[in-house]
Copies of this chain bind each other. A is one copy, B any other.
Amino acid sequence: MLRGVDAFAIKLEAFGALSLGDQAALNTVQGPVRRISAGTEIVAEGQPLRTAYILREGWTSSSKQLRDGSRQVIDIQIPGDHLGLSGILLSASDRTYTALTKVEVTQLDTERLLDALGTSPNLARLLLKAASREEAMLVEHLVSIGKRDATARTLHFLLELGARMRLVGRGSANRFECPISQATLADALGMTAIHLNRVLRQLREAQLMIFREGIVTFLDVEKLIEMADFDRGYLEDGMGLLG
């Protein structure tokens, strides 16, 4: 049976019901829980990738280092997300995964996972849905960095994170724990930390949003969604996550 803490299963169930067989399969493809301390590089870019992980607790980032030493944060992973699964079939990891907090991961047995997909078309479908959502998120980040101004970009990212947290049963429509530093957030948004700090201060002063002490509070969700041109469709699949 499914343990209550398995955010991976909770996430997949947001896309459709898992049978008992699917739930059992999800358990057999995961190894024991491993604890990793904050700041650890769990997977390094360029490293031959033989192992993927499910993040059970805590937050990680995926990033890519450029030759000049600068870094682009590609995305943030929260409980229920996988680390490195999309790269497992390629010859090497195309990004670095770093623990932003103390994390708990399980190792994913990808051969068993492929077998499980072969025997459960339902599981394959739910995993494909989850993968589609990840791709849609990447597209939104590309659009944010290419086209959205600093405020819309910041809001879009935090609204998305809030919706993702809610999807795995953490946080509410207007409040969630967000244990990432402003420096990491700035890297993800392609902004300087100073610029981000100014944007956050303006949002706070306008009584629209507060990001303080690891908690994001949306004071006026509807207005923020409007400001960010945030289209709930790409995350929700008709689930009404943002109320």
A residues sitting closer than 8 Å to B (CB atoms) are 15, 46, 64, 66-67, 70, 72, 74, 86-92, 94-95, 114-115, 117-118, 121, 124-125, 128-129, 131-136, 138-143, 145-148, 190, 229, 233-234, 236-238
Contacts and interface: CB of A to CB of B under 8 A. Distances in A.
Nearest to A119: B118
A91 B142 contact: no
Given A74-B143, A88-B132, 15 more contacts: A72-B147, A86-B135, A87-B132, A87-B136, A89-B129, A90-B133, A90-B237, A91-B237, A92-B233, A94-B234, A114-B125, A115-B121, A138-B142, A142-B145, A145-B145
Contact of A66 (B88, B141, B148): B148
Chain A contact surface mostly: helix
Contacts of A135: 86, 134-135, 138
Given A118-B118, A124-B114, A90 B145 contact: no
Number of identical monomers bound together in the oligomeric complex: 2
Given A87-B136, A94-B139, A237-B90, A121 B114 contact: yes
Contact of A125 (B89, B140, B141): B89
B233 A132 contact: no
